[in-house]
Amino acid sequence: MKVESIHWKSSLPLTEDYVQDYNKVSDLFEYDPWNESSWAERAAWLDRGNPLAADRGQLAEVLLSYNKAIGNAPEALDAIGKLKQQETLCIVGGQQAGLFSGQALVIYKAITLIRSARLASEKLGRPVIPVFWIAGEDHDFDEVNHMYYLSPEMQVSKIKIEHPSGKRSTVSSLKISQEQWTTALELLDSSLIPTEFKPGWMDLLRTAAAESHTLVDFFGRIIAKLFGAQGLVLVNSDDPQLRRLESPMFTKLIREHEAVNAAVLTGRDKLEALGYSSQVDLNERSANLFVVDDDERIFMYAAGPDGPYTDRKKERIYSREQLLDWAESAPERISNNVMTRPLMQDYLFPVLGTVLGPGEIAYWAITREAFHQIGLKMPIVVPRLEFTILEGTVQKNMHKFGLTLEDVLYHLEDKQEEWLRSQDTLKLEERFAEVRARFVEGYQPLVELIGGINPGIGKLGETNMGKIIEQIHFLEQKASDGARAQFDASLRHFQRIGLSVVPMGKPQERVYNIFSYLNKYGDSWLYEIVNSDLKPDGKHKILYM
């Protein structure tokens, strides 16, 4: 498998600068990811110890319990055992629990975690373990209940599971029935072409579904099957055992909510002062925490330093004392938002670095001051490895039309039209343009002449001329459609290139599910990447299959 690195400019200016010109954004982050000394510097800071840190032994027990429950590999369980040692550090990154693992980028994040942990361990000469944080506490079911694939009819098609209850409950608490799993698996089965690998993958997925009650259960089992042997440790952020371990941090976040939110707003202001736009909708009253009430996850707003706390519509009211009581006695009722989740990860784990996608880098840029507010430092931010799979048929079609990768990424529609024009031996566009010009040249003077007789007749003449030109355009379009019909097969090849590489106008990794590719090519290419010398350097990788 050939791998090529390219620069694919990020749609987010801050993320683009983070990768290409770090000095522009250095005030928003703690460590320069491109400076080798940053790794030793971060490790030294962690070694000095932090009073605001979860007990490693208790954390290891929580992780061991969860990873055994999802059937993670012995290598991952061994990695958890190492976490009890003070010298062990972590590379952490996470994602929501998408259907059948969600978008391919989820798999690439897992690979980046493993690669980054290995590289860091080599640099520092000490254990560094990869940890995948499953965002089971999230409540937006519509973001995770589906997957996309490219159908034989050249359609971007969707497999979806309906919401079990309609409530804003955490994804980790929403039970998926076996009937729903069966229907989704049948749709996936029909979407995959027959290959030597298909029976094995379908057996694995059916077994995982039979053992899973939620999307989070299923997701954890699949990621563990794919990467557990590489030592990838998984954590469900909505695990009740983990929540109990988070209790002291929740207490601190409640007591200091006003200062933490002020720090977040300061971070946003610094970001905007540098000319970037905030990717997060912030509020001066935000408590940056959710509570679970009546099986629904509710975002908290604070009326003042000591509360009370309300939902957005102020229909539910909670006192500071009530939240502090929950933080101690029922921490499973409290969860983090996008701004406090990074802080909680740093409290739980000795985070050497965190693996983030382009959008995550842009919003983490707001959090540095919040880390400082509670006595922490933002870890090294490692850009997730980005991949596009270029299949053999797509490569052949690109070669046939003389298309470069840049053409496909940025100019495919223009290149298609350019190719069509080159096939137009009749020069229809030129001939129709010539006919229109001659018609106007001969007809316009006549219209002007009769306009001198009577303005009304002149106006009628203008209308008449417009209708004739319109009919010429109509005939040109019909002739053009007829000519294009001769090239239907070639146009379908152009379409296949576009739908394969930039479906829905987005990077492939942000749309398609990984199982379409695992079904065709097996999983050896995944482990080839894991065991390669690839580094998270911010460049996009093209995989020639």
For CA atoms 514, 203, 177, 244, give the dihedral sign: negative
Query: Beta-carbon neighbour count of residue 223 at 10 Å?
Result: 23
DSSP string for residues in 132-156: EEE-TT---GGGTSEEEEE-TTS-E
Amino acid residing at 172: S
Amino acid residing at 131: V
pLDDT at 307: 83
Is residue 181 a contact partner of residue 175, using CB atoms and an 8 Å limit? Answer: no
> Which tens digits make up the pLDDT trace of 267-305?
999 999 999 999 898 999 999 999 999 888 999 999 888
Predicted TM-score (pTM) above 0.85 = yes
Which of 90, 92, 164, 88 is closest to 127 using CA atoms? 88
pLDDT at 222: 98
| H/E stretch holding 434 | helix 428-453
Helices (H), 70-214: 74-82, 104-124, 178-191, 198-210
Residue ranges per domain, the chain?
A: 393-506
> Which tens digits make up the pLDDT trace of 19-60?
999 999 999 999 999 999 999 999 999 999 887 899 999 999
Name the band, by pLDDT with cuts 50, 70 and 90, for residue 186: very high
Q: Is the pLDDT of residue 492 over 80?
A: yes
Higher pLDDT: 201 or 431? It is 201
Terminal C-alpha separation, the chain = 6
> Which tens digits make up the pLDDT trace of 330-372?
999 999 999 999 999 999 999 999 999 999 999 999 999 999 9
Both tokens of residue 167?
């409530």
Work out the average pLDDT over 411-431: 85
> Which tens digits make up the pLDDT trace of 382-400?
999 999 999 999 999 999 9
Name the band, by pLDDT with cuts 50, 70 and 90, for residue 246: very high
Q: Is the pLDDT of residue 209 over 90?
A: yes
Name the band, by pLDDT with cuts 50, 70 and 90, for residue 442: confident
Q: Is the pLDDT of residue 486 over 80?
A: no
Burial (CB count within 10 angstroms: exposed 0-12, middle 13-18, buried 19+), residue 388? buried
pLDDT at 277: 94
171 SS3 class: helix
pLDDT at 50: 82
Q: Is the pLDDT of residue 190 over 80?
A: yes
Lowest average pLDDT, out of 135-139, 358-362, 421-425, 534-538, goes to 421-425
Which long-range CB contacts under 8 A does 315-321 form with residues at least 24 apart? 318/291, 320/254
Work out the average pLDDT over 140-166: 93
Both tokens of residue 192?
């995959």
Q: What is the rounded average pLDDT for all residues in the chain? A: 94
CA atoms within 13 A on the CB side of 39: 19
pLDDT at 434: 86
256 SS3 class: coil
The β-bridge relationship of strands 2-6 and 540-544 is: antiparallel
Q: Is the pLDDT of residue 422 over 90?
A: no
531/526 Cα distance (integer angstroms): 9
201/191 Cα distance (integer angstroms): 13
Beta strands in 216-282 (DSSP E): 233-236
**Highest mean pLDDT: which of 50-54, 74-78, 162-166?**
74-78
215/213 Cα distance (integer angstroms): 7
Q: Is the pLDDT of residue 220 over 90?
A: yes
Query: Beta-carbon neighbour count of residue 219 at 10 Å?
Result: 31
Which long-range CB contacts under 8 A does 330-334 form with residues at least 24 apart? 331/243, 331/244, 331/246, 331/247, 331/250, 332/238, 332/240, 332/243, 332/244, 332/292, 333/291, 333/292, 333/293, 334/243, 334/250, 334/289, 334/290, 334/291, 334/292
pLDDT at 306: 85
Both tokens of residue 140?
């937006």
Q: Is the pLDDT of residue 322 over 90?
A: yes
Query: Beta-carbon neighbour count of residue 295 at 10 Å?
Result: 12
Q: Is the pLDDT of residue 379 over 80?
A: yes
